[in-house]
Structure 1
């Protein structure tokens, strides 16, 4: 089937844009969804990632508004498209723009966080926004702020990555948005893992929806007579898998201290180096996306990789949710444009993003939510193209492979790289000579341990099985941080504290080190003032006329002063044990630095 065969569901204008963009044949999900959604049907679409779901709702939305009897006024809204992340919302906006441009009066407005909401309100009042595309929080905020916005004319509501929207804390915002919209509207839910959120369909306000389930039949092993492999609408059999058949997923079992060397060896072997055509070994340019458990882990690896000699020539970008919106957009655009490179990121870049020419997905850490596994690997092998993915697992996490297979995600074990670079000494040297790396490693360690405790698969990812000593070594820690998860002598094998005093490590950035010294001086001055103040208070108490006090009262007063001093020193000692104060600072505060 071709797109022209979907007439009259699609307009000639939409077909012209599709033809100019090189789209001739619809994907199975587009073929099944577009006629239904262009008509008077609500749809709940369940299809593997990379199957073309964005066009499956953008085309019906635009053509439905095109067929309105009269154009919408500047303050009227015709469609609302909700996305869980800013990056995905921006991508939907860019995909929709060429089709929206074919309707003279139609305007789209992107509403995402990271900017002044007053600017968005002003933009709507001045230019209108017949199609609102954005994240739940910003959409809800602008709808509250903009009293002139008329939502009674909304024809279509789309919830993209619906399972994630209904699962990541957007319930209040989604309820508020849907309560403002008319009930007589078309609603579409689109996701790659929608089968896990059946109860969400009622919440979303669908009326007798048509379920579109585009499944992928598993490929039988060589020599085994297989059934006809197909992709089609409606429910699939038990033999279906959750990932595209063109996606090859592997796993590697290794210790925590081997993960970064394995990653560096992998990047070298796969040729993730920017070049015109290929390197001396014949490696073609490749894009690699590497996923981590936390933002701090991304920052640590982003700090150390460019300093390694093995990574010279690699274009390395970092992306996570704690970055400012402008930086996130610039990083994503830069990675999209380069012919080869590495993107280090969290699950903020796991859903819906269509980055061209991504050959490999590396899951350095398995995700907290197992459903995110499918979305991560879905950044490659999109629209029928081939792709590869690999996940690194610690030895005690081996049962995660069986867990994924039960969830229809096939994996094969990959061999370990035999010639691993010796990175540990280089990492330790970086941590001992640059405070930036030292602090990044400590933050990464703490965030990783705390995130590990919150894994959804607690029966596999158990904190008591985590080798904290090897993990601390992998993050090049000089000292173990004071945190309740670290119990003395338990799981700390493989870690040796550095002879370097962490307080003596300076920033290589002179401006940052100068700022640190100013802060340290201010802290020292403040502690000295507090020390003098405590001494004055004790002196005033001692200067009370003792001749008027009986001996018993003098002893009680002395006991109270001794107790106060002991409490002060105990408080400072607890700070030392927690790593908030060094031994030298303790001596200075207690008057022992003589």
Structure 2
């Protein structure tokens, strides 16, 4: 259903039928024959609800803010109006006049939009387009744009912002239309500054389309700043059975069947493998929490006897651009296989004929749940999605139900093959598997700690021991989250006395590098100078042993010196008052003996006396710092008195 208000159920159903039965050739204003022909060649004859609602609005010079479920055909909903608006220009544009800009959050989505739009851009004579995404040499792109120009820019906000800042040759005053796709994610990924800067360089008299699967406060603010009196288009799916009628409109595609499975922690990975075996021959996407988890399971799953023969492809955000594009193209071309991935593959990607979505780890952000599931059941097709939950996470089902995402329970298989012994045996034979497992486990625990729904996913309640068994670990890693929070280690079964340093890489080159590193480290330790032994203080038999720090010893010494100094002042005062004479004073203070000045003040005597005084002053200062210097003052006063 597409609307800007809330009609009655009967009206909504009638409008939904009208929109889904409408052909592109029947739209008003009418599309040009060239565009209709390009749609027919691509197999697009009937409009989806979002296309039937949005295309006429944009072509009638209205700004639109579109809120539509994933997989509803948003790309054609803005590509067709962009092409039609540029076709209606009275004359071909100059090479450096920018007429249309399409911004999306990721490289993959921008590339996908560009590829979908190419057959339609080809119908425009004298109009050039360019894809601007990260991962390419900026100097080459700058040179190309400066030399050839471009009338339509498709790309990510970071790269578009960079190009617009560096180049003065492009003109934006004739811009006809701006499209912001996946606007909520544009803002979630921290692109608000770049998007705002791009909008500030564009003319206000333009058409703007804001497309998003979820409307957030930030998207609303962006709509206020970038759109002029926009028409709000909401496309929601009506519930398709009586049990879901009371939930109202669903946020998931009509042909999508959603399920959940409650698994014990130590058996979760075995349940996953059993489920994949049951669905052999299908095209499946399996979502994990982190890149390290994807790396680990992409190595473990292919080596399991039960899954041998099923292609497993890894896809995550830390892969370089080339391997990422290759992985996506490989999976897209498969008729059956498994893509293990992170949320980088959750939104915008239109991978053909995906049969099943498995959310092994629920997403940190609950909004992403629908986007993950929406990779299947696209364009009125059918598909299945399932999420694996721990017994402590069952409240997530009710949470999603309140958000318009109802799930049906699927019971765990009672008879499953325990894959943990096979994983642990492989880890004992290959250090690569052991290390990848440790990294995956650590990254999972830390990801779980940052979950947005922490009231459901309570990381301090994690049964770490059982989860470690799920990952087939040989040991539980030493990490602060486990060490300082008393997480349960119950359920972990160590394999006895194993020297983990002796586990080798199967890859001979990596093992050779590891042995070199170990040898180098051993040599460095052998060549290090011996650590000097700490001086043990002399023990006094009449006092109990007590370890004193340097600061404590210094404090004791200073106290003794101050007592001695106080006594010397007291005796000096008695000497001045005549209570004692000089001989008694010298006896009591220990200042007696030759001072080295000579008896008659001759030069030699004075020289020797000066030297001795200097030595005495130095000695006193070394003995007590300021206190020693003060003692020298007292002695000098006494000598002055004598003279």
Could you tell me which residue of structure 2 aligns to residue 247 of structure 1? 256
Could you tell me which residue of structure 2 aligns to residue 33 of structure 1? 54
Could you tell me which residue of structure 1 aligns to residue 510 of structure 2? 512
- Counterparts of 1:5-404 in structure 2, within 5 Å, are 5-194=26-215, 197=218, 199-202=220-223, 204-221=225-242, 239-272=248-281, 286-404=282-400
Q: 1:521 to 1:203 in 2, by over 3 A?
A: farther
Could you tell me which residue of structure 2 aligns to residue 527 of structure 1? 525
1:515 and 1:153 mapped to 2: Cα distance? 60
Whether the 8 Å CA contact 1:166–1:200 is kept in 2: the answer is no
2:525 and 2:61 mapped to 1: Cα distance? 71
Report the structure, 1 or 2, having the larger helix content. 2
**TM-score with structure 1 setting the length:** 0.83
Q: 1:79 to 1:504 in 2, by over 3 A?
A: same
Shift of 1:22: 1.9
Whether the 8 Å CA contact 1:432–1:500 is kept in 2: the answer is no
Q: 1:184 to 1:526 in 2, by over 3 A?
A: farther
**TM-score with structure 2 setting the length:** 0.77
Whether the 8 Å CA contact 1:46–1:195 is kept in 2: the answer is no
Shift of 1:510: 0.6
Whether the 8 Å CA contact 2:504–2:511 is kept in 1: the answer is yes
Shift of 1:169: 1.4
Max radius of gyration: which structure? Answer: 2
Shift of 1:37: 1.1
Shift of 1:195: 5.6
Q: 1:342 to 1:63 in 2, by over 3 A?
A: same
After superposition, what is the alpha-carbon deviation per residue over 1:348-388, rounded to whole angstroms, capped at 9, x for unaligned?
01101111111100000000110000100000001101110
Shift of 1:201: 3.6
2:291 and 2:425 mapped to 1: Cα distance? 23
Whether the 8 Å CA contact 1:29–1:53 is kept in 2: the answer is yes
Shift of 1:153: 2.7
1:239 and 1:442 mapped to 2: Cα distance? 44
Counting matched residue pairs gives 516
Whether the 8 Å CA contact 1:9–1:34 is kept in 2: the answer is no
Whether the 8 Å CA contact 1:9–1:39 is kept in 2: the answer is no
1:149 and 1:13 mapped to 2: Cα distance? 28
After superposition, what is the alpha-carbon deviation per residue over 1:536-558, rounded to whole angstroms, capped at 9, x for unaligned?
xx49x99xxxxxxxxxxxxxxx9
After superposition, what is the alpha-carbon deviation per residue over 1:286-313, rounded to whole angstroms, capped at 9, x for unaligned?
1000111110110110010111111111
After superposition, what is the alpha-carbon deviation per residue over 1:139-174, rounded to whole angstroms, capped at 9, x for unaligned?
212222333222333221111111111122112221
Q: 1:214 to 1:196 in 2, by over 3 A?
A: farther
Could you tell me which residue of structure 2 aligns to residue 483 of structure 1? 479
1:132 and 1:112 mapped to 2: Cα distance? 10
Could you tell me which residue of structure 1 aligns to residue 8 of structure 2? none
Could you tell me which residue of structure 2 aligns to residue 493 of structure 1? 490
Whether the 8 Å CA contact 1:113–1:135 is kept in 2: the answer is yes
Shift of 1:339: 0.9
After superposition, what is the alpha-carbon deviation per residue over 1:185-228, rounded to whole angstroms, capped at 9, x for unaligned?
21111122126655334465111110000111112337x9x7xx
Whether the 8 Å CA contact 1:17–1:99 is kept in 2: the answer is yes
2:43 and 2:144 mapped to 1: Cα distance? 33
- Counterparts of 1:396-435 in structure 2, within 5 Å, are 396-435=392-431
Partner SS, residue 516 of structure 1: helix
Moved more, 74-83 or 385-394: 74-83
Moved more, 483-492 or 92-101: 483-492
1:461 and 1:196 mapped to 2: Cα distance? 25
Whether the 8 Å CA contact 1:81–1:132 is kept in 2: the answer is yes
Shift of 1:528: 3.4
Whether the 8 Å CA contact 1:163–1:196 is kept in 2: the answer is no
1:201 and 1:260 mapped to 2: Cα distance? 42
Whether the 8 Å CA contact 1:296–1:440 is kept in 2: the answer is yes
Could you tell me which residue of structure 1 aligns to residue 594 of structure 2? none
1:448 pairs, out of 444, 451, 459, with 444
Whether the 8 Å CA contact 2:462–2:487 is kept in 1: the answer is no
Q: 1:431 to 1:559 in 2, by over 3 A?
A: same
Could you tell me which residue of structure 1 aligns to residue 572 of structure 2? none
After superposition, what is the alpha-carbon deviation per residue over 1:57-85, rounded to whole angstroms, capped at 9, x for unaligned?
00011111222223222222111111111
After superposition, what is the alpha-carbon deviation per residue over 1:65-124, rounded to whole angstroms, capped at 9, x for unaligned?
222223222222111111111111111010000000011212221111122222222222
2:349 and 2:139 mapped to 1: Cα distance? 27
Q: 1:74 to 1:401 in 2, by over 3 A?
A: same
Q: 1:69 to 1:271 in 2, by over 3 A?
A: same
Partner SS, residue 485 of structure 1: helix
